[in-house]
Each structure stands twice: as C-alpha cells, then as structure tokens.
Amino acid sequence: MQEFQNNTFDSQEFKGINFSDFDFSNSKFVEVKFTDCNLSNVNIQNTMFQDCRFINSKIRGLDFSKANNFLLSFSFEGCNIQSSFFNNLKTPNTIFNNCQIIDCDFFHSNFSKSEFNNSNLKGSVFDEGVLENVNFATAENFEINPEKNTIQDAKFSESGALSLLRFFNIKIE
C-alpha cells in the first residue's frame, strides 16, 4: 500500500478506496479527485488540499481546521459528510452539490460565494462566519443565526429565509 503520510499527490484520482483511519498528515493533495472513497476519521493534520474534488465519498470525523490553510480549496459532490469540522477556514467559492452535511460545524469561517446546492445540513451549525453571497436557495435544514453570521447578499428560498427568523423568538402564523 502506498504511503500517505508526508507525501505529495498531484493530478491523481483515488477511486473506491477505504481510507478509514489513515494518516494523511503533512501530505499535499493537488488537483486530486476522491471518488467513491471512505475518508472516515482520517488524520489530516497539516495536510494541504488544493483544488481537490470529493465525489460520492463518505467523509466522517474530519477536522479540516487542522489542515494546512495555505491555498486550501475543495469541492464536494454527492458526498455524505458527517460530524466534521470546517472551523477557522478561509475557503470562498466552495461548492457542495447534492451532499448530506450532517452534524458539522462551520465556526469562524469564510465561505463567501460558496454554494450549498440541494444539500441537507441537518444538525450543522454556522457560527460567527462570513457567508456573504452564499447560495443556500436549494439547501435545507441549516442553522444560521443572522445576528452571529455575516449573510449579506446570501440567497435563500422562502422557507429558508423564514427559518432565519426563529432566532428572534417571534411567531409567524
């Protein structure tokens, strides 16, 4: 098996691999595609992800705040993302398409101009983040307190916009 710690991977595709509990620490992934992979509980301490794509993959228990923030950029399509942390990141223009993003934290992060298309964010929390120009129009079950997040020019569906009001302790009939 290939060594994944302290290594560089450029323009590669990993397909159908179970990386559960692997150690990716101090590695660089540049323009790498993970398709149908299991990335549960992977150690990503000081790992660089630059222009990486995660497609139909399981991502559970990853702490992206421990990754190398330099040039950090990724996208997710059809992924099941659970109990993961996207805290203290500056990752504008991130795309989440058709994802289940369950019980994840987005604290103190800048996701401006990102998209959460047809994604379920049940139990996920955004706190003290920059969400300017983010598209939540087709997302559901998100928890965003408009007093604790910058949401200027963000897009919401009508029901999504109404869900923002629950933080103000008002009743809509």
Pull the structure tokens for residue 56.
């139909």
**Does the pLDDT value for residue 3 go beyond 90?**
no
DSSP H stretches of helix in the chain = 158-164
Domain membership flag for residue 95: yes
**C-alpha–C-alpha distance, residues 110 and 69, integer Å:** 12
Domain membership flag for residue 4: no
Overall size of the chain counted in residues = 173
Domain membership flag for residue 97: yes
* Residue-number span of the structural domain to which 99 is assigned: 86-168
Domain membership flag for residue 51: no
pLDDT of 62: 98
Note the pLDDT tens digit of each residue in 55-86. 999 999 999 999 999 999 999 999 999 999 99
Domain membership flag for residue 48: no
Domain membership flag for residue 131: yes
Q: What is the CATH number of the domain that holds 141?
A: 2.160.20.80
Domain membership flag for residue 56: no
| Domain count across the chain | 1
Note the pLDDT tens digit of each residue in 98-146. 999 999 999 999 999 999 999 999 999 999 999 999 999 999 999 899 9
